[in-house]
Amino acid sequence: MITGRDELPRIGSSSTGSDDAALVGKIFLDRGVRSGVVVVGADGAYLVEKGGVTRFPAHGQPAANPSPTVDAFSAALATRLAAGKGLYEAVGFASAAASISASRSGGPGSLPTHTEVLANLSRFTPHPSRLTG
């Protein structure tokens, strides 16, 4: 499950911080989902699990058009999980991909390549922080 900033009010959340990520994640956890990722733009992404919430910081500036950024995050997360990587590694990789996309104007050209994401990770290693648990 991935929720972008613009989807939070539809789910019942009024802001985008860690408390709201936990609240939104809990809605899905209560329905049987094992884990969820709440993407909140410049604030990064939150991995919500039964054991708590982990924040993955963003690596760039807020995007003028957040849709391609969330799309880049989703695509990168899916490719890493499909490659057999763990959830924490996949979310970190996806955060780095989203930051590249946020720096671009949008459209198909805004999606970064695997090489670009790896280069971004080498410059801005994500440091997730456990918020609850």
pLDDT band of 80, cuts 50, 70, 90: very high
User: 76: Cβ–Cβ under 8 A, 6 or more apart, which residues?
Assistant: 90, 93, 94, 96, 97, 98, 112, 117
pLDDT of residue 85: 96
Of the listed ranges 44-48, 52-56, 66-70, the least confidently predicted one is: 66-70
Domains of the chain listed by start with CATH number: 2-130 (3.40.1190.20)
Reported as a single tens digit per residue, the pLDDT across 88-124 is 999 989 988 888 888 877 666 778 899 999 888 887 6
**CA 12 to CA 10: how far, in whole Å?**
6
Mean pLDDT over each residue of the chain, to the nearest integer: 78
pLDDT band of 82, cuts 50, 70, 90: very high
pLDDT band of 76, cuts 50, 70, 90: very high
Beta strands 52-56 and 35-39 are: unpaired
